[in-house]
Amino acid sequence: MLLERSGVMALADYLSEELIRMDLASRERDGVIRGLLDSLVACKALPARLLEPAVAAILDRERLGSTAIGRGVAVPHARLEELDEVLVAFGYSRAGVEFSALDSQPVHEVFLVIAPKGRADEYLDLMERITRLVQNDDFRRFVSHAKGRRDVMELIKEMDR
Amino acid sequence: MEEHSVEVTIKNPMGFHVRPVQRFADLARLFKADVEVHMRNRTVPGKSVINLVSLGGRCGDSMVITARGEDARQCVDVLHFLADSSFFVEDSMDTASQPNRHVERLARMASCFESEIQIVLNGKAADAKAVEAVSGLGLKPTSVPRFRVRGTDEEQARAVLENLVESCFYVEDEMGRRPRKGK
């Protein structure tokens, strides 16, 4: 899968419908992380040989502190030397996922990010976009009522500006 | 109401990303004072991870930390030390040359408080604000010492020091190897 990328990237530039999972099957953090990475592999965004290193890197990062950042949102992430570009996948869980959040609340929206080493500005831009988006109560409410991936993709295009 | 501020520069090559922000917000939450951070022409609550990450702070950006409340001075001192220490993010740190960093972190954090603080480990006690005295106890990043704290800000001092202990003094090689309290 090739994404059109130039200049400042919007969140929608990193995503496609295939990289959005509605009603995540797992209620466990590790299962959700693996499921979202599987989506990236299925889309050929992430080479299959990097799946296990990516799982390990993300779980290693979680060991340093949960990436549940409040309001039912988590941003599991890691950097991998071998990657060429920043990759994002989104998952929604109606039931909620146990993410060892500091506020002890289950996580419903998960933005998984893996990035090459360096690229600090792009990475910070992306995190800024994600956190601004999820601060919008309308976004989280609309996601919970979305009928499918297409709705979420449209929502992100519309609200991440 | 007491108000204190400090301006600091972000030294982390990857900026004010999720990990430094979490540590900042975790420590800020241990104080009664309201905390605000001003950076990149925006001001956000200093105890909210989402708000702080949304600032998108880069390496070299300066930020002003302001605390208002009865423990504002101690709060600003703790957060100032944290920021000056690259938020204890060890990615690009020469950790081999700082084997005693957990002791220094403990002593510097303890020094932010007016209370008298003793650290107790294996039946021996030492002044928690004195690096040499704490080193003499054989403190390791995974040690679980007790604290004797007496003074006007003892509640906050104890909370900050226990946060350090629970987090293995943010020595990242050791973090997460011991379950955090209440998890």
pLDDT tens per residue across span B111-145: 999 999 999 999 999 999 999 999 999 999 999 99
Q: Is residue A3 scored above 80 in pLDDT? A: no
For chain B, list residues whose CB is within 8 angstroms of any CB belonging to chain A.
13-19, 22-23, 26, 48-51, 53-59, 172, 175-177, 183
Percent of chain B predicted with pLDDT > 90:
88
- Identify the closest residue of chain A to B18 by CA–CA distance: A67
Q: Do A69 and B49 touch (CB under 8 A)?
A: yes
pLDDT at residue A157, as a whole number: 93
Domain segments of chain A as ranges? 13-159
Mind listing the domains of chain B with CATH numbers?
3-88 (3.30.1340.10), 96-170 (3.30.1340.10)
CB B119 within 8 A of CB B158: no
Q: Which CATH architecture has domain A13-159?
A: 3-Layer(aba) Sandwich (3.40)
Which of B15, B50, B172 is nearest residue A64 as measured by Cβ atoms?
B172
Q: Whose CA is closest to B27, among B126, B156, B122?
A: B156
Q: How far is A73 from chain B (nearest CA, A)?
A: 9
Q: Dig out the tokens for B124 from the structure.
A: 């021996």
pLDDT tens per residue across span B48-107: 999 999 999 999 999 999 999 999 999 999 999 999 999 999 888 888 888 899 999 999
List the end-to-end C-alpha distance of chain B, in Å, as a whole number. 35
Q: How far is B69 from chain A (nearest CA, A)?
A: 23
Contacts of A131 in chain B (CB under 8 A): 50-51, 53-54
Look up the ipTM and state it: 0.87
A82: DSSP letter: T
CB B76 within 8 A of CB B49: no
Which of B18, B57, B177 is nearest residue A75 as measured by Cβ atoms?
B18
Decide if A77 is catalytic: yes
pLDDT tens per residue across span A40-80: 999 999 999 999 999 999 999 999 999 999 999 999 999 99
